Amino acid sequence: MGSLLAMGATALAQEPTFTSSLTSPEPGQQAPAKKAKAGGLATQTEIVAGQDQQPMLSLNSAAAMEGAIAMYEEIVAGGGWEELASRTLKKGAKGEAVIALRQRLIRENYLPFDSLSSETASVYDAELMEAVRAFQVNHGILPSGIVAEKTLAELNVPAETRLGMLRENLTRVQAYSQDLTGDFAILVNIPGAQLETVEYGHVYSRHNIVVGKQERPSPTLASKVSDINFNPYWKIPASIVERDIVPKYMEDPSYLAQMHIRIFDGVEGPEVDPALIDWTTTPPDRYFFRQEPGSHNSLGAVKINFPNKFMVYMHDTPHRELFGRNVRFESSGCVRIDQVQTVVKWILDRTQTPLDEATYEALVNSTEQYEQPVENGPDVRWMYLTAWATDDGRVNFRPDVYGLDGTDFVFGQPQPKTY
């Protein structure tokens, strides 16, 4: 299989690029929004190379956060902002509610102050719609330009709360950016359920991802890509054997065969017949469970590895329908990547072995397991950022999905969220 990689000399120049309306903001203003895409998704999987888009984390992130904190301290000192009345607003609306919305967006620099003195201050015009869309992008909401329930809820979060989130996440940003090389990185933000590939301080691609459930949260970590497995075996952790695999087998004895899961007496031991085991008394780690490669495999066609103590990785998935949701907290801790082939090709093209589309398809369609070591792999950061600021003037916020704000959490394995 090594010769297949040698065949793939075509670089990534053939990959599609996407246009965007993103431009640098005026000093003290939030950046404008990107164009909304079809399909109702708040965030998109796309290649944005050449668009000068700023990553979630960079060597300058701490300074950007400190600037955002100073801005929100001024907002709080000035009395914050008024809560908006519950009302849906969209382009063409008129009245006092529109003026109140303008005032609210001015407070966070989404609009210039003189927009209140214009003849159309009480009209929901194109300028106001663009400001709303920018706000929605920065809060992980579909940038529709319509103020409805979710956007209204985010608008009505108190300024004091936003300031507290920025201060909380400054510590995280400082820790996550430590030892970051600044050349190549894969950034995962768990609350945002998004991944960025970054080169020399600019985003190459963004991907929707699936991350850990609230009861099985993903950890935060710092590492580097070490190797890529094509058609991997899934070596099933004992926790998943206990919670998922054995209960499903007990309900349906054909489950293991249907899912191509085999059981061995140790990693290198002989295969055992599950029907001969008393699963009501057998510890989940007594036997080694392994799912064979193929379309049924929970890891999909490829797995990206990096050293870490949590036994997690990034991978493909046969359940790609999950990427079509806005809420993507569905895994047992690992990260599933939409259009993972773009990430794999990006890694290999920027390390030692370019990989074209034909070679990639040949590898994944062979169903033969193949491991490609990666020399000088990109940095990997799995982060828990509920607030972050970027050099282009954006200040971003996301929900505290694991309830970790206020706990001084930075690195490690979060405890499952309880109710």
CATH code of 129's domain? 1.10.101.10
Q: From the CB of residue 108, how many other CB atoms can be counted at a distance below 10 Å?
A: 21
Whether 299 shows a pLDDT value over 60: the answer reads yes
Residue pair 144/136 in contact by the 8 Å Cβ criterion: yes
Whether 39 shows a pLDDT value over 60: the answer reads no
Residue 15 lies in a domain: yes
Same domain, 139 and 286: no
**Residue 383 to residue 220: CA distance in whole angstroms:** 5
Which pLDDT value is given to residue 419? 59
Task: Assign residue 215 the CATH number of its domain.
Answer: 2.40.440.10
**Residue 381 to residue 176: CA distance in whole angstroms:** 7
Q: Given CA atoms 132, 134, 138, 144 in this order, what sign does their dihedral have?
A: positive
Whether 46 shows a pLDDT value over 60: the answer reads yes
Same domain, 132 and 246: no
Structural domains counted in the chain: 3
Which pLDDT value is given to residue 182? 80
Same domain, 343 and 214: yes
Residue 27 lies in a domain: no
Which pLDDT value is given to residue 17? 26
Average pLDDT of the chain?
90
Q: pTM, whole model, 2 decimals? A: 0.88
Residue pair 284/323 in contact by the 8 Å Cβ criterion: no
Picking from 157, 192, 210, the residue at the C-terminal end of a domain is 157
**Which of 360 and 1 is assigned the larger pLDDT?**
360
Please, which pLDDT band fits residue 326 given cuts at 50, 70 and 90? Answer: very high
Q: What is the mean pLDDT of residues 384-390?
A: 98
Same domain, 229 and 240: no
Same domain, 110 and 130: yes
Q: What is the mean pLDDT of residues 285-299?
A: 93
**Residue 75 to residue 88: CA distance in whole angstroms:** 25
Picking from 157, 173, 207, the residue at the C-terminal end of a domain is 157
Count the residues in the chain.
Answer: 419
Contacts of 359 by beta carbon, 8 Å cutoff, 6+ apart:
4, 5, 7, 8
Residue 125 lies in a domain: yes
Q: Given CA atoms 54, 60, 64, 65 in this order, what sign does their dihedral have?
A: positive
Same domain, 150 and 250: no
Please, which pLDDT band fits residue 332 given cuts at 50, 70 and 90? Answer: very high
Q: Tens digit of pLDDT for each residue in 164-178?
A: 999 999 999 999 999
Which pLDDT value is given to residue 32? 56
Q: Tens digit of pLDDT for each residue in 79-136?
A: 999 999 999 999 999 999 999 999 999 999 999 999 999 888 999 999 999 999 999 9
Beta bridge partners of 230: 302, 370
Picking from 291, 317, 338, the residue at the C-terminal end of a domain is 291
Residue appearing with tokens 């080694």: 288
Same domain, 190 and 306: yes
Beta strands in 181-328 (DSSP E): 184-189, 194-199, 202-212, 221-224, 227-230, 234-235, 261-264, 288-291, 302-305, 314-315
**Residue 56 to residue 383: CA distance in whole angstroms:** 10
Structure tokens at 239: 């926790």
Q: What is the mean pLDDT of residues 17-28?
A: 33
Residue appearing with tokens 């990639």: 360
Which pLDDT value is given to residue 29? 58
**Residue 244 to residue 368: CA distance in whole angstroms:** 27
- Residue 276's domain comprises 234-291
**Which of 118 and 262 is assigned the larger pLDDT?**
262
Helix, strand, coil percentages, rounded to 5, for the chain: 30, 20, 50
Residue 181 lies in a domain: yes
| Nearest CA among 384, 407, 338, 405 for reference residue 157 | 405
Q: What is the mean pLDDT of residues 224-229?
A: 96
Please, which pLDDT band fits residue 28 given cuts at 50, 70 and 90? Answer: very low
Same domain, 299 and 193: yes
Please, which pLDDT band fits residue 351 given cuts at 50, 70 and 90? Answer: confident
Residue 354 lies in a domain: yes
Structure tokens at 281: 């008394």
**Residue 406 to residue 404: CA distance in whole angstroms:** 6
Same domain, 215 and 331: yes
Same domain, 112 and 246: no
Residue 388 lies in a domain: yes
Residue 137 lies in a domain: yes
Same domain, 97 and 152: yes
Q: Tens digit of pLDDT for each residue in 134-151?
A: 999 999 999 999 999 999
**Residue 368 to residue 231: CA distance in whole angstroms:** 6
Q: Return the active site residues.
A: 315, 334
Same domain, 195 and 177: yes
Residue 403 lies in a domain: no
| Nearest CA among 45, 46, 53 for reference residue 21 | 53
